[in-house]
Amino acid sequence: MNLIEEMTVLARQARTASHALTRLTTDEKNRCLRAMADALEGDAAKIQAANALDLEAGEKAGLSAAMLDRLKLDDRRIQGMAKGLREVAALEDPVGRLLDARTRPNGLKLQKLATPIGVVVIIYESRPNVTADAAGLCFKSGNATILRGGKEAIHSNGIIAETLVTAGRRTLPVFPAHAIQLVATTDRAAIPALLSLTDYVDLCMPRGGEGLIRAVADCSKVPVIKHYKGICSVYVDRDADPAMATAVAVNSKCHRPGVCNAIETLYVDRAAADAVLPQLAGALWEQGVELRGDPDTVTRLGNLAPAGKLKPATEEDWHTEYLSLILNVRLVNGADEAIGLINEFGSHHSDAIVTKNEATAKRFLNEVDSAAVYWNASTRFTDGGEFGMGAEIGISTDKVGARGPMGLAELTSYKWVAIGTGQIRG
Amino acid sequence: MNLIEEMTVLARQARTASHALTRLTTDEKNRCLRAMADALEGDAAKIQAANALDLEAGEKAGLSAAMLDRLKLDDRRIQGMAKGLREVAALEDPVGRLLDARTRPNGLKLQKLATPIGVVVIIYESRPNVTADAAGLCFKSGNATILRGGKEAIHSNGIIAETLVTAGRRTLPVFPAHAIQLVATTDRAAIPALLSLTDYVDLCMPRGGEGLIRAVADCSKVPVIKHYKGICSVYVDRDADPAMATAVAVNSKCHRPGVCNAIETLYVDRAAADAVLPQLAGALWEQGVELRGDPDTVTRLGNLAPAGKLKPATEEDWHTEYLSLILNVRLVNGADEAIGLINEFGSHHSDAIVTKNEATAKRFLNEVDSAAVYWNASTRFTDGGEFGMGAEIGISTDKVGARGPMGLAELTSYKWVAIGTGQIRG
């Protein structure tokens, strides 16, 4: 069997499973999820034995200590996966939600109902816990999943997927055997092959670095929901409260600089610069942040900066996601200029304004073309948990399909159900 | 300027216009739409002069009489476009609808608000009225449009687009000049070039024959919402009322056989075949329908069929959208077999069950994986107007983004707006 045949078998099986999944009740799905959680904990030793093979191979292949750490499945991480599945079991079933209802003049009753999407491919990198997290969310939302993890985690991912399916089948005789499948081959060409099967695959969600995501988006013939990177920003308006501006900027940058909703650029209204810029910079420097400024910023802060903590920003810097304690700073002539620059240089992820001026805030919230826009709050809240969605499968900066944090509801599509009494069109 | 540069200029202009469109009020948009309608009527002579150039070229190129008819813009069709724009002006603004609202325990107020998608490319074939219809719907929903019509309508489309933009600018000084743009070149390579510009184009909606749509979907790097064809069906269950089954089947096939929501296959429960098949076939034959049956159907109906009105169905027939008075008929062993066959052979568009049995109906409505599913009603209702959406820009059988009929609301995305009082993440 060549690669495209192998992927076609996998995808057809997933399609069949996706139809079987529509027949499971919420209670049946939840029982399976809880059994899967128990099985992960019960089979911890077996999972760790498989994980040891990956760790050994990773060491031989010279993976970095950080990579090896991400790969490792200790007891705590296995319990974390189990806890995640139990939490998903406790969440409301997103399938069958009534999204709209109307009765037409001819008496035809229309209901817009949430449905599973169908077959979802998840492509991800080294963390093997994604296998359980993604499979659990997709299963609860009635989708068949095809998982494609990194080759460095192949044994760990394999045993986790197997454990989940075995637990599901033991719990429920009608559990579809191919509801959760792992791509067995590590051949890179499997990805374009799988993502060419538009008859059987409905959606692909890649998770990982920008390179992986671009490669997936580039080759896919099925819809891809993704975000490439998080170039987020805070704009401090002339009408900002200086203390709030400082708290929001510092939190947005420093709370966890390595994640996508941390900011990379601070825009400061020139009209407020005298009053707030030194204080803002001082607070950021206190957290160890290196600032990269436009010429005006560099001039204004030149005498205040600790050694090595202020540089002129290059053209490239405005497009860079640092994922570390580096922050661009740029003075602008009011909100309109900030909005224009955010729409041009940002990645349409999360952007905040700090201001007491409601009219200015409303303009910013309306015109900034991002998945999440904040008025007087940190960008760090863009997160499924913080938004009250429960577990999150990712964040989207796309505009077709889900946008922003994606939880269970964002893993659904809809259908129109029409109930008649024999209506025909005249 | 080469083609990709030319398309990049167009798409960047559209992106800029899309940002400007977010600043228009509902009233401003409606005034523009009404002025556009007036301008189409006022400039009817100019439009017909341009249309005459297309008709002349079409005749020289040997277009069929049907094609030439579709191309022609007589007074009635120009009034039709104007009426369409006035109707869109009268519809509710889909932008800004509050889709969800929640306040988090930390006091952060979250609103999920409908937004324009951004830049929408519409690719269509010969009917020039699509230029006004699509531009009007996109404009009302706050999207910048790039229109790419067929080369045979290039003069007609050009003058319509120009008329709309001129009317918009005359009405509103801030009307974005590039809110509605037409691709000027007839070079086919313009389509892949335009649809490679993922930074500037958010969505493509092709309208036309399956060949056009497949070519667009195949080359596009931006999301495409579409339906390839409508292989719809009616399933007559053992618990169907025979008269209702006949009325629904005849209406679904014969009311307008050339459109996508007409059926191509009739499934009949074997348990009901004795009672209903002759009556169903008779009513269809009365409308001039040719039946293509599975072996069992052919055997049962053999002695009843008018000459030439009953043939054995080939394998290909089950995959064919006839768009004419031909209908496949297949006996099945109950609803489960029907559901399986519909999911396998159908195009996930519109499918109906006729039954008095609620449990059977619910199974069908849940498990048939189609954009619209009907219980005791004709499939012909899958239509924006019939669903109460107002004007329709198309029908989608996709599951990411809009599914089913697409009106104004289906031309929107959403954003999360978070309103705080200085919240930071702890």
Q: Are residues B217 and B242 in the same domain?
A: no
Q: What is the largest CA-CA distance in chain B?
A: 81
Task: State how far the Cα of B330 lies from the Cα of A24, in Å rounded to an integer.
Answer: 28
Chain B window 160-199: which residues touch A at a Cβ cutoff of 8 Å? 198
Q: For residue A227, give every residue at least 6 positions away whose Cβ sits within 8 Å of its Cβ, in sequence order, or none.
A: A213, A260, A347, A349, A371, A394, A395, A396, A397, A398
A213 touches chain B (CB under 8 A): no
Structural domain includes residue A350: yes
Task: State how far the Cα of B165 lies from the Cα of B131, in Å rounded to an integer.
Answer: 12
Confidence of residue B385 (pLDDT cuts 50, 70, 90): very high
B22 touches chain A (CB under 8 A): yes
Residue A396: pLDDT over 90:
yes
Distance from CA of B380 to the nearest CA of A (A): 6
Handedness of CA A316, A320, A326, A332 (dihedral sign): positive
pTM: 0.96
Distance from CA of A108 to the nearest CA of B (A): 8
Per-residue pLDDT of B141-180, as tens digits, reads 999 999 999 999 999 999 999 999 999 999 999 999 999 9
**Contact, B36 vs B168, CB < 8 A?**
yes
Task: State how far the Cα of B50 lies from the Cα of B56, in Å rounded to an integer.
Answer: 10
Structural domain includes residue B400: no
Contact residues, chain B, for A20 at CB < 8 Å: none
Task: State how far the Cα of B401 lies from the Cα of B413, in Å rounded to an integer.
Answer: 8
Structural domain includes residue B372: yes
Task: State how far the Cα of A185 lies from the Cα of A154, in Å rounded to an integer.
Answer: 9
A387 touches chain B (CB under 8 A): yes
Closest by CA to B284, choosing from B241, B253, B321, is: B253
Question: Hey, is A380 helix, strand or coil?
Answer: helix
Closest by CA to A9, choosing from A187, A201, A222, A203, is: A201
Angle between helices B26-42 and B44-60 (to 10 degrees): 60
Q: Are residues B44 and B88 in the same domain?
A: yes
Distance from CA of B223 to the nearest CA of A (A): 7
What string of DSSP letters covers B197-212? -TTT--EEEEES-HHH
Structural domain includes residue A161: yes
Per-residue pLDDT of A212-265, as tens digits, reads 999 999 999 999 999 999 999 999 999 999 999 999 999 999 999 999 999 999
**Cα end-to-end distance, chain B, whole Å:** 53
Is A377 in contact with B247 (Cβ distance < 8 A)?
Answer: no
Distance of CA A141 to the CA centre of its chain: 16
Q: In the A/B pair of chains, how many CB contacts fall below 8 A?
A: 208
Question: Hey, is B406 helix, strand or coil?
Answer: strand
Q: Are residues B13 and B30 in the same domain?
A: yes
Is A386 in contact with B19 (Cβ distance < 8 A)?
Answer: no
Distance of CA A213 to the CA centre of its chain: 12
Per-residue pLDDT of A123-132, as tens digits, reads 998 799 999 9
Chain A window 99-138: which residues touch B at a Cβ cutoff of 8 Å? 102, 104, 108, 110, 115, 117-118
**Which candidate from B23, B381, B399 shows the least CB-CB separation from A117?**
B399
Structural domain includes residue B352: yes
Cα A66 to Cα A126, A128, A152, A153, distances in angstroms: 11, 14, 13, 14
Beta strands B310-312 and B290-293, pairing class = parallel
Q: Are residues A240 and A218 in the same domain?
A: no
Structural domain includes residue A390: no
Q: Are residues A23 and A107 in the same domain?
A: yes
The DSSP code for B313 is P
**Contact, B12 vs B148, CB < 8 A?**
no
Q: Are residues A125 and A171 in the same domain?
A: yes
Q: Are residues A284 and A201 in the same domain?
A: no
**Contact, A350 vs A230, CB < 8 A?**
yes
**Which candidate from B366, B416, B424 shows the least CB-CB separation from A404?**
B416
Confidence of residue A302 (pLDDT cuts 50, 70, 90): very high
Is A381 in contact with B423 (Cβ distance < 8 A)?
Answer: yes
Contact residues, chain A, for B94 at CB < 8 Å: none
Per-residue pLDDT of B219-257, as tens digits, reads 999 999 999 999 999 999 999 999 999 999 999 999 999
Distance from CA of A281 to the nearest CA of B (A): 18
Structural domain includes residue A276: yes
Per-residue pLDDT of A342-395, as tens digits, reads 999 999 999 999 999 999 999 999 999 999 999 999 999 999 999 999 999 999
Q: Are residues A40 and A67 in the same domain?
A: yes
Task: State how far the Cα of B380 lies from the Cα of B233, in Å rounded to an integer.
Answer: 11
Can you give the CATH number for the domain in which B336 is found? 3.40.309.10
Closest by CA to B416, choosing from A113, A88, A351, A262, is: A351
Confidence of residue B1 (pLDDT cuts 50, 70, 90): confident
Closest by CA to A227, choosing from A403, A410, A407, is: A403
Structural domain includes residue B158: yes
Task: State how far the Cα of A52 lies from the Cα of B27, in Å rounded to an integer.
Answer: 65
Q: Looking at residue A126, what is its pLDDT?
A: 76
Chain B window 48-77: which residues touch A at a Cβ cutoff of 8 Å? none
Which run of H or of E encompasses A9?
Answer: helix A3-21
A308 touches chain B (CB under 8 A): no
Contact residues, chain B, for A379 at CB < 8 Å: none
Task: State how far the Cα of A222 lies from the Cα of A121, in Å rounded to an integer.
Answer: 10
Which residue out of B369, B383, B406 would a mutagenesis test of the A interface target, given it has the greatest number of A Cβ atoms within 10 Å? B369
Cα B243 to Cα A154, A192, A377, B280, distances in angstroms: 59, 50, 63, 9
Closest by CA to A123, choosing from A67, A193, A173, A177, is: A193
Residue A326, domain extent: 232-381
Closest by CA to A161, choosing from A189, A210, A190, A128, is: A128
Contact residues, chain B, for A255 at CB < 8 Å: 424-425
Query: What is the mean predicted confidence (pLDDT) over B293-320?
Result: 97
Task: State how far the Cα of A139 lies from the Cα of A143, in Å rounded to an integer.
Answer: 5
Q: Are residues A237 and A209 in the same domain?
A: no
Q: Residue with structure tokens 């209908």? A: B327
Contact residues, chain A, for B241 at CB < 8 Å: 422
Can you give the CATH number for the domain in which A11 is found? 3.40.605.10
**Which candidate from B19, B388, B400 shows the least CB-CB separation from A102?**
B388
Which residue out of A263, A419, A421 would a mutagenesis test of the B interface target, given it has the greatest number of B Cβ atoms within 10 Å? A419
Handedness of CA B342, B343, B348, B352 (dihedral sign): positive
Which run of H or of E encompasses B79?
Answer: helix B75-90
Which run of H or of E encompasses A88?
Answer: helix A75-90
Domains of chain A: total: 2
Task: State how far the Cα of B417 lies from the Cα of A362, in Å rounded to an integer.
Answer: 10
Q: Are residues B217 and B244 in the same domain?
A: no
Amino acid at B112: K
Handedness of CA A214, A215, A220, A224 (dihedral sign): negative
Burial class (CB in 10 A: 0-12, 13-18, 19+), A359: exposed
Q: Are residues A89 and A187 in the same domain?
A: yes
The DSSP code for A184 is -
Task: State how far the Cα of A196 lies from the Cα of A186, in Å rounded to an integer.
Answer: 17
Where does residue B118 fall: left (phi above 0), alpha (psi -120 to 50 degrees), or beta otherwise? left
B327 touches chain A (CB under 8 A): no
Question: Hey, is A418 helix, strand or coil?
Answer: strand
Confidence of residue B199 (pLDDT cuts 50, 70, 90): very high
Q: Are residues B192 and B288 in the same domain?
A: no
Is A415 in contact with B403 (Cβ distance < 8 A)?
Answer: yes
C-alpha torsion angle, residues A353, A356, A357, A361 (rounded to 10): 20
Q: Residue with structure tokens 């568009």? A: B349
> In chain A, whose CA is at the least distance from the CA of B378?
A424
Task: State how far the Cα of A96 lies from the Cα of A94, in Å rounded to an integer.
Answer: 7
Confidence of residue A1 (pLDDT cuts 50, 70, 90): confident
Closest by CA to A407, choosing from A126, A37, A84, A107, is: A84
Handedness of CA A90, A39, A18, B394 (dihedral sign): positive
Radius of gyration of chain B (CA): 24
> In chain B, whose CA is at the least distance from the CA of A250?
B424
Which residue out of B21, B210, B347, B423 would a mutagenesis test of the A interface target, given it has the greatest number of A Cβ atoms within 10 Å? B423
Q: Looking at residue B126, what is its pLDDT?
A: 76
> In chain A, whose CA is at the least distance from the CA of B261?
A425
Task: State how far the Cα of B296 lies from the Cα of B313, in Å rounded to an integer.
Answer: 11
